[in-house]
């Protein structure tokens, strides 16, 4: 079965994102195909490389990056929602007159068209 996971919960403060990560790992472990993960609304905060939890806390941003590296699953970020929440790429930062962006490596800024295409290709869509 082919899945799409949508994450709308921020990296910290709620359990949505961490649960989505563990669910995504379980899908792959069970032999399912995971088309991509789409971060929307406050979920885009999972792509902020400036997040720095205490050393004894779970680092969710790094865990998403490790997941991407290990399984080559696309981590798509809604570009509009990200800009509204201050998550921008280095290229956008230059346009806004900011020295550097804060989009974490492994995440890709995309639009709702990418989400629509992923939904079309999938058997199941699960939102966290």
Catalytic residues: 78
Helices (H), 1-128: 16-29, 60-71, 79-84, 90-95, 112-121
- Quickly tell me which residue has 């400036």 as its tokens: 50
| CA 54/CA 39 separation, integer angstroms | 24
Cα atoms in the Cβ-side hemisphere of radius 13 Å centred on 77: 29
| CA 28/CA 114 separation, integer angstroms | 21
Residue 92 in contact with residue 101, Cβ under 8 Å?
Answer: yes
């Amino acid at each position: 079965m082919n899945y799409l996971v949508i994450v709308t919960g921020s990296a910290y403060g709620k359990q949505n994102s961490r649960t989505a990560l563990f669910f995504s790992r379980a899908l792959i472990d069970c032999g399912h195909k995971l088309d991509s993960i789409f971060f929307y609304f406050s979920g885009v905060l999972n792509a902020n490389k400036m997040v720095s939890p205490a050393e004894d806390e779970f680092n969710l941003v790094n865990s998403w990056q490790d997941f991407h590296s290990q399984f080559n699953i696309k981590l798509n970020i809604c570009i509009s929602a990200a800009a509204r929440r201050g998550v921008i790429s280095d290229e956008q930062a230059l346009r806004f007159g900011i020295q550097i962006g804060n989009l974490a490596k492994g995440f890709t800024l995309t639009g709702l068209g990418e989400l629509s295409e992923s939904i079309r290709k999938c058997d199941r869509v699960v939102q966290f």
